[in-house]
Structure formats: structure tokens, C-alpha cells
Structure 1
Amino acid sequence: MLTERNDSAGATFVLLGFSEFPPLKVPLFLLFLAIYTVAVFGNLGMILIIRVSPKLHTPMYFFLSHLSFLDLCYSSVITPELLEILVVKTKTVSFLSCMTQFFFGCTFVITEVFMLAAMAYDRFVAVCNPLLYTVAMSPKLCALLVAGTYIWGALCSLTLTYCLLELSYCGSTINHYCCEFSALLSVSCSDTHFSLMVMLVICTFNEVCSLLIILTSYVFIVVTIIKIPSKGVFRKAFSTCASHLTAITIFHGILLVLYCVPKSKGSWILIKVATLFYTVVIPMLNPLIYSLRNKDVKEAVKMLIHTKVLSHSM
């Protein structure tokens, strides 16, 4: 087994990407390049606005800045390689590079799962206990919640990466545009039953726990909002949660589709499309969702632009 692993460590994989659709390579490259550009500037812009605007120095925007950072990171882990696949004839990746990409991509995605759950808890405290919000969501608690999501994401990813490292690989062609877990298992000549079980346990635990936190938080939020007599206050309370609910629905919806699809030969195109959504499209959508639907962010952007214009005019 040691010899097999050493052989695998020096292996080189060929990523097929979307080679089954040659005429679409150029349009897909331009589309994904545009999406990635919007994602990079959108998330960097969101982080910058939150940093420079004192009005946005609240727990909600502290979590949002980390969400933008995660979107930027896992999009940057995957998308540049996807763009390269679309312009080169044969895209090869070393075993070490493949494992590294998987580790970081998996870390950022799992971290985002629990970052969204932490944001749901933040909205629960803001709506249900507004008078105690600043006390309950102290900077120390916010820092602990964020640190916990990163640590848990890294631990889960490390476990899954170790499972992949323990396998030997006799195939060299990966029917994907990135080093995705099930795609790597498909080219392994080892018994993958244990690795599949570990992935199932980790994914199920993370989904159930995060969704339980989110659903519980929003049940209490809805009950509290219903009891509010004023329609104006009702709309304001709901608007603070609308962007977050939209982001959660898209993100968890795509993940559930991805892991509920049976891994058959004909399902690989659906798996690749679903992976595209959460690695390429969602990082672009999140800053748009939180900027277009958020009054505070729009006001902060206007104030920043106004300040820059005044400084240049002087």
C-alpha cells in the first residue's frame, strides 16, 4: 500500500472540464471570466465598504465581511483553473496540486455553511432581542463564532483530504473541471466505501446542524415579527432578513442538489453544473444580493463616492 501511495503522489491527472462541448469553450470562457470579475470586485468592494464605513461596524456586517472573504477565496481556488481548462488543449494537474485545491475549496465551502448559520443566529438576536443586541452579540462572541466556523471547516476538510490521500489512483482522467471529491473517487482503484461513508457523515452532519440553527432562528424570528402590530416595523424587521434568506436558499439548495444526485455516468454533467453554481455563480450573487437589497450598504456606497468626489474637488 505504501508503494501504491507513493506512486499516486507522483501522479498527474487530466481534467476534462467541458471537453464534450467544444463549440461552447469560447462562450463559456467569456461568461465565466465576466462572472469571476464581478465576483472579485463585488466581494472586495463589500469588504472595503464595511471596513471604511463606521455605520457598518456592527455584528451583522462583521459576519458579512467574512462571507465575502469566503466567497472570494473559494471562487479564486476554482475559477482560474476552470478558465485555463477552457483555453488549453489538455489540462493536467499534479496529485499534490489536486489535493491542495480540494483541501482549500472544501474548507471555504464548509466554513461558509456555518457562517450563514452564524448570520441566522445574529438575525435572531437582532429581531427577537433588539434592546440586548449589542450586549448579546459582543465583539468577543462574534470573533469566537467566526473562528469556530473556520476551525471546523478546516478540520472537516482535513479529514476528507486524508481519506483521499489514503487511496491509490489508477485512473488519470477526471471527468470534472476541478478536484471534486466524488470525481477523485471515480479514478481510484482502492476500496472507496470508507471514504464515501466519511463524506456522507460529514456532509449530513454539517447540513443538518446548519439548517437546524437556521430554521430554529427563523421560526423565532417569524413568530416575533407576527406579534409586531406596526406594519412599518414589520417591514423593517423582515427586510433585515430578506437578503440572508435569499443567500441561504440559493446556497443550500445547490448543495442539496449536488449531494442528492446519484453518481451515475449520465449524472456527471448535472454534478458539474451544480458545482459551477456554488463555486462560480454564488460568489458573484452574494455581494449583489446584499448590496442591491440592503439600504445601509447602498447609503455607505453613496457616502463613500460623495467623500471621494469632495476630496478630489478640493
Structure 2
Amino acid sequence: MPSNSRVTQVVTQLEPAGAQSIAAWLEASGVVNSGTLFLYEKAQSDLFPDPKLLLETRPKNPAGALKMVRATSRWAKSCSEGEVLLAHTHYAIVFAALVGRLARKGVKTVAVHHWPEDRYPRGARAGVRLARRLGCFAAEIYCSAAVAPRGAKVIPNPVPNTDRALGGVADGHPVDILVVARHAEEKALDTALRALALLPDDRTITFVGGGPDTDELKALAKGLGVSDRAHFVGRMDNDAVRALMANCTAFLLPSRWEAMPVSLLEAVAMDADIVVSNIAAHDFLTDEGAAVAFEVDRAELLARALESLDATTRESLARGRVAVRSSLSEVAVARKWQSFLRDLDADERGCA
């Protein structure tokens, strides 16, 4: 038991995303001992086959908002004395801060930031700042130094233990360049397509995932004349994705901004050769020599980076991945969480 308190997680919505992956790991590792609550369900996830939901769907009208208020009140009353709420990202943080106020049982809200705060939706950003001014947080944790204010507490996301994979990794089909990312502006997947157009005709990219920009990206691929080499395969379950990582020629993340992407950590675990944009969030890889970097939004430099993956470079990347797996192992990161929760308990006892 990492602490003497009940530790419960709160996540905004159920969907395949980084915060949800970390929430699943925290629960599986025993850091969380009282389960995970999702405010509503947006999509199914193999990580949470039987999720605990506050509501089935996001409130869309006054009646839905009233239903959420009532459900929130009931949940606040169910919180135990001194319970710790680990709230992951924007609206979940605001919600947990509200529950902590309503519960009035010494409930301790811990804000866990997976995004840069200035990227939060405007309403959530205002709510987080108000909760901070009102002293609603027992602590704030950032998943990466790239998104943390100076002096803030950082507990990085871990490289997952592949022993917990559900199976089938060895059966993955070989792919060339692999991208696992939401199809949204910040992921810069258009840069990947423009780079593909500069590569030889036998090179291909497989895009796993979806999002608001999928149709636009498909149209761009057609306009660039690479639609036959850009494969959009949609969502896949976690094991299938890892199987592709284990069998790809290169794993690519060309993002314009990130925090600490779980997909990169999974690629490290699966021993994939990684190419990333040169943003601060990717320094944990490039500082260890575990990834080849290119200047963000520069398609010609991305194409050159992908072509640079010769045998010598791959050997160097492999050594870098060993270093990252050591420093960001699940055991090492779990110890940081456990130490943090013990200190939180000790602070509470000291104030009692």
C-alpha cells in the first residue's frame, strides 16, 4: 500500500489517450487502490473493459447538467475521510477540486497535468486557475518537465513493461514508417505526408488512430500523389499497436507540441527505431540518443532523418533505448508515486 489513504483517480472521458493509459498503469501497479472514475464515456477502451462512469454521456442540455450535479453530489458524499483524488488533465482536475470542496472530509485533490496548461480548453484553464487560487489542490504533478513550471513537481510517465502485453506481439505484420497519434493539428501529420512525397516510391506510412483531421489528411495524401502509400487503418487495440511497433522500420512522431507521449514510451518498450520532431517534450529521448530528431514542420529534414536510419544509426538508437528503459522503468516511476503519496500522508498527519 503506497499510502494510508484511499487513492482514487478521476479522468474526464473514456477514450484511447495518454492520460487514460497512465491511469490504467497507476491502477495496475497498485499506486491507486480505490479504482478510477470517468466523468463520462466517449469511446470504449481495452484498458478499462468495465469502467466506472459518473454519467453515460457528456451533459448536452440543462437536464443533463442537473443530472451531473446530482451525481457529483452523491459521489462527494461517498468519499472517505482523507481520500486522495488523482485528477488527470483539465476538466477532471476542476471536477475533483469541486468534489474535494463538497466532501469536506479532508479530501486531498492532486492535479495531474498531462498537457501544457495553456493548451487546456479555455473554460477548464480558468477553472484550474481558480481552484489553485482557492487552495483546492494538495499538490500538482506534471508528467514531463516540458510542461512544468519552474520548480514544479515532475513524475514522468514510465516505459511500459511489455510482459503485461495481452499477446500477439510476435505475430505483427511488418510495416515501414508507423505513426500512432490523434489526427489533429498539433500532431503535424501533414509534415509526415509531405516527407513521404519526398521519399522513394517504395516507402509507405501507416497511420493508426483517428481524429478531426482524418479527412483533410486523406485529401492531402491524394493531392501529394501518395494516397497509395499512406495507409489510414483507424483505431486498433493496444496489443495490435504494439505488434506494429515491434515490426516497423521506423516509428515517427512529428508533433508541434506534446507533453510526454505514451506512444513514444511504448515504442521504446517495443524496441522501435524512433524519429521525432525537435520539441522540448522529446528531449527525454534525444538526450539519451534514443531517437533521431528533425526540425519541426520541415518535411525535407524529416525525409532526410528517415533515410539516415542505417545499421550504425540503429545500433546507436538501441543503446539509447536501453538507457531510457532503465531511467523510466515502471518500477522506478512507481517508487516516485509511492514516495509522493507517503509524503502527502505525512504532511496531513503533521497538520493534524
- Give the shorter-chain TM-score range: under 0.3
Structure whose residues are more often strand by fraction: 2
* Higher RCO, 1 vs 2 (CA within 8 Å, ≥6 residues apart): 1
Higher helix proportion:
1
TM-score, normalised to structure 2, is 0.20
